[in-house]
Amino acid sequence: MPIRTNEPRHRDPKPVLGLSEEALRGRRLALLQAALLEHAARWNLKTVMTFHQRVEEAAAFAEKLPKTAAELYATEASEQALSEAERLPESSIDAEFYELEAGRHVPPDRVWSAWLCGDHLVAERREAIRQFANGVDASGRRVHRAFLASVRVLGQGVDIVGTRGVEAVCFADTRGSQVEIVQNIGRALRPNPDGSTKVARIIVPVFLEPGENPEDMVASASFRPLVAVLQGLRSHSEQLVEQLASHALTRSHQQRRVHIHRDTQGRIVGASSQVEGGGEGREDKEGTDGTAESALLHFSSPRDPATIAAFLRTRIYRPESLVWLEGYQARRRWREENGITGLHPTPYDTETAVAVGGGRLPVGRWEAQQRRAARAGDLDAWRRELLDEDGMVWEPGEEAWEAKLALFRSYRRAHGHLAPRQDALWGETDTDTQPIGQQVANIRRKNGLGKNPKRAETRAAQLTAIDPDWDCPWPLDWQRQYRILAQLAEDEPGGHLPHIAPGVLFEGDDLGQWLQQQANNWTGLSNEQQQRLTALGMTPAERPAPAAHSGQKAAGKLSAAFHRSVAALAQYIAREGHHRIPRGHIEEITINGHDTAVSVRLGVFMSNTKSRRDKLTEPQRAALAALGLKWARA
């Protein structure tokens, strides 16, 4: 027996804040009436049973259904359409206009509805069942559609026999026991009274919350009614539910098979195996495996088969906690939105919007929690299998690297650069600070990104996406102060810096003194450094013309050796960004007019000069003070 499980999806068309639970259920009941009538018209259903948990709702459903049917019929059947129908030839079987064309609503007097509960007498129940199953009203007149609302009354042992039987069942409420659901599903699964082939329809309405994405069904609480029914269906046939995941679970448009063709006068002119809107040959193809292909889970809108399979596996085969599934669904949605497939770690600081209720879910941290649970042996094998299929990266090294990238992004957003002091600490809160200065210095070293060339290339690209200057060829101290000044220049006319005198500090950096050092050591800068500073309006410092040669040594003149040492010191500061020089350091410097470099024992020079600073001349003190040596100032 082919089975079709249908899921009409609805939203409250006009959500009202503060609506009571009773009012909300009333609105949903009215919406369910319209949806069922539309569904019955589309598939030409004759008998539909609905199951409720409240007597008031069953009674309201049955009593108000004719009014809803009248409104739908009046909206669809215009006066023009009815007048045109009168010109059609009379039916040879005395069929009315609505019976000649499938997919249309019928007049309200041809829609029968009733309800039953435990308070009805046995005779009353039998009469209602007789009318429903045979498609007649109390006067014996034939009706086209019959709806019977039941409230825990048509349980096991009650047979519904007649010329029509039960074509479809609808679960208006699934809050009953699993036994009730299984028994009610059995109503649809019973064969036709005449033994002909039957397509059993199980209809489950799903009401989505305002703003809820229907693709987020894996972790949505709105799909609980469908979960309850599918679990009940699974108790009837384990193989049947497995087919739901293995076959084509969605179709963009459910197309109706046309068996006969009529001419413009409405007369039958032939038969066909074509499918309306499709090509030929589908009848033959589906006929070979009709049962398997018909046993599908149909939704009111197209669905991704992978989403359906994930829904069945996580909510039906192995029911999961919705708390865990919210994180799992958010991770799947983030990957889909960003076009990510295969193995790919989620950045630690990644967040995505929550489907219902607003707010954001930290997907990156949720993924890190799964890694920690896996290492501790607390992650279920089934959950790990689901994550493996969605490209989960389990390597601890990758987890640490993603956390480091998140730290770098946070620092870059706050400071506008990725050139912290080597002793700098950073974190989102005071309790999770990390030595970011040392971390940035480490990744800039040789093999700082690992010895695997491919992984190092990938990590370098990730760092470049955060800050293109993360691996600049000059010291980070130089890069940091340049970026600070560049941000200041953005608000100045023409993007040029105003005059900044030495002594102006920003987070411990003397910006004025740094600018003076760059101007004095312009020739020691690289071309790119010069270009960047020129864009900020800087120019090299003007050097005084040399004094005329005198036979006697001027008292204020610097010796050649001292001059070379000062030039070497300026070159070192420009390159390294500081003057903390090891005693054994030797600096190579090229003197103007010479082709070969000269080695200057700069570490020894600094140590000796500082210990003998009381004996320095004023020009020597001035030269050293201009390079930022505070101890050289008088």
| Whether the Cβ atoms of residue 344 and residue 395 lie closer than 8 Å to each other | no
Cα distances from 334 to residues 329, 337, 379, 414, in angstroms, run: 9, 5, 22, 25
Exposure of 360 by Cβ count < 10 A (0-12 exposed, 13-18 middle, 19+ buried)? exposed
pLDDT computed for residue 77 by the predictor: 58
β partners of residue 438 = none
What is d(CA 218, CA 313) in angstroms, rounded to the nearest whole number? 9
pLDDT computed for residue 482 by the predictor: 92
**What one-character-per-residue DSSP string does 493-549 give?**
GGG------TT-EETTEEHHHHHHHHHHTGGGS-HHHHHHHHHTT--PPPPPPPPPP
pLDDT computed for residue 540 by the predictor: 87
β partners of residue 146 = 47, 112
Cα distances from 426 to residues 338, 422, 430, 431, 476, in angstroms, run: 29, 12, 8, 10, 16
At 132, which amino acid appears? F
Residues of the chain with pLDDT under 50: 1-3, 13-14, 99-100, 245, 247-256, 273-295, 545-556
Tokens read off for 137: 């009203």
- What is residue 599's three-state secondary structure? strand
Task: Read off φ and ψ for residue 368, nearest 5 degrees.
Answer: -65, -35
Using one digit for the tens of pLDDT, what is the confidence trace for 532-543? Answer: 999 999 888 875
Domains present along the chain, CATH in parentheses: 3-253+289-305 (3.40.50.300), 320-389 (no CATH), 412-466 (no CATH), 476-535 (no CATH), 560-632 (no CATH)
Tokens read off for 298: 């149909």
Using one digit for the tens of pLDDT, what is the confidence trace for 567-592? Answer: 888 888 877 878 888 888 888 887 76
pTM comes to: 0.45
Q: At a CB cut-off of 8 Å and minimum separation 6, what does 487 contact?
A: 416
What is d(CA 401, CA 297) in angstroms, rounded to the nearest whole number? 43
pLDDT computed for residue 549 by the predictor: 45
Cα distances from 575 to residues 194, 219, 436, 478, 523, in angstroms, run: 95, 56, 22, 8, 12
pLDDT computed for residue 148 by the predictor: 94
Task: Select from 565, 557, 558, 553 the least CA-distant residue to 608.
Answer: 565
What is d(CA 397, CA 481) in angstroms, rounded to the nearest whole number? 33
Task: Select from 203, 131, 209, 139 the least CA-distant residue to 167.
Answer: 203
Query: H helices within 237-312, ranges in order?
Result: 238-246, 282-287, 290-294, 305-312
Cα distances from 565 to residues 43, 350, 488, 525, 591, in angstroms, run: 95, 52, 34, 17, 11
pLDDT computed for residue 607 by the predictor: 87
Largest CA distance in the chain: 139
For residue 235, count other CB atoms closer than 10 A to its CB. 13
Tokens read off for 59: 């009674």
